[in-house]
Amino acid sequence: MAAAVDRLSVMLNTFNGGRKLERCLESVKWAGEIVVVDSGSTDGSPELAGRYTGKVRINPWPGYRAQREFGMSLCSGEWILILDQDEYCTAELASRLLSICADPAAHARYNAGWIRRIEHFWGKRVNFGNYNPSSQPRLARRGKCRWVGHAHSYMEVEGGEPAILRIGEPLWHDSYATPAEFFEKINRYSDLDVEERLPKGYRPSIWRVALSPLGMWWKCYVVRQGFRDGAHGFLNAASMAAYWFFRLSKAWHRRWLESNRPASWEEHISGGSSKK
């Protein structure tokens, strides 16, 4: 399997990864090459990554798409496994990836792999709701794939759908371990999402701000059967509704500011009033 290992590179982007980053690196230490691109961690993540690979690069955060593209450009393997720092490669997945690398002829028609992901929410595995079924673009043939988009980047594959291999062996996703972690992330993600959508004419009405989060809750909890995950399923649906509210209300407020001046203390004490 030595030759197979040499055909696979692992690439991950990091920022203050902590214990999750260590688990991620431990799960792929068998790989022929590991490339880590850190965007300026202050918790020692680059030094931690340096214990697993000599290919650690510091690159100030240019956005999801650009950072992934930069990391992939540093890889030398024929195949690239693209991970986030909170994703761990299972033994079953490692074995499948090595079998793909060991048999180039059987996989010559494929340029990418979509990998099934085991999802977790606030410390518990969830099998339903908005996250499932979860299949993520995580395997790319070097030079045949590129990332597009911004906050929600996705992979474009040369050859389209017929060139995508569906991989059932799972990747473990340790997402949103606590409520604080979840809300910190959705606050950041919603900012990025709004920055991407506004130039395209995105203009949600106040009614959409009010009703769309309820629709998201219904989709996660009822349509996608989140109720089957018990209390965590209910909280997951409510949290996704909160994300929808964050995103829509921020966009609505940005549009409101285009034609209104926010109320200020200075105007109040001078007897003026801001335009409503």
CA–CA dist 76, 275 (Å, integer):
58
DSSP letter at 30 equals T
| Greatest mean pLDDT range, 15-29, 127-141, 151-165 | 15-29
**DSSP of 122-158, one letter per residue?**
TTEE--SGGG-S-EEEEEEETTSEEEE-STT-EEEET
CA–CA dist 22, 270 (Å, integer):
57
pLDDT value, residue 274: 58
Residues 157, 144: contact at Cβ < 8 Å? Answer: yes
What are the C-alpha distances in Å from 4 to residues 9, 32, 79, 162, 216? 11, 8, 10, 24, 44
CA–CA dist 211, 249 (Å, integer):
11
Residue range 235-240: mean pLDDT, rounded: 95
Helix ranges, the chain (H): 2-6, 18-27, 45-50, 64-73, 91-102, 179-197, 206-218, 230-257, 265-270
Cβ neighbours around 96 below 10 Å, total: 19
Residues 111, 158: contact at Cβ < 8 Å? Answer: yes
Residue ranges and CATH numbers for the domains of the chain are 2-173 (3.90.550.10), 179-257 (no CATH)
* pLDDT above 80: residue 93: yes
Residue range 143-153: mean pLDDT, rounded: 80
pLDDT value, residue 132: 80
CA–CA dist 152, 188 (Å, integer):
12
User: In the structure, what pLDDT confidence band is assigned to residue 110 with cuts at 50, 70 and 90?
Assistant: very high
pLDDT value, residue 193: 87
Q: What is the CA radius of gyration of the chain?
A: 21
| Predicted TM-score (pTM) of this structure | 0.84
Residue range 230-236: mean pLDDT, rounded: 96
CA–CA dist 62, 145 (Å, integer):
19
- Strand duo 154-157 + 87-89: pairing: unpaired
What are the C-alpha distances in Å from 170 to residues 47, 72, 134, 136, 220? 28, 22, 10, 10, 22
Residue range 86-98: mean pLDDT, rounded: 96
User: In the structure, what pLDDT confidence band is assigned to residue 275 with cuts at 50, 70 and 90?
Assistant: low
Task: Work out the mean pLDDT of the chain and round it to a whole number.
Answer: 92
User: In the structure, what pLDDT confidence band is assigned to residue 2 with cuts at 50, 70 and 90?
Assistant: low
Amino acid letter, 102: A
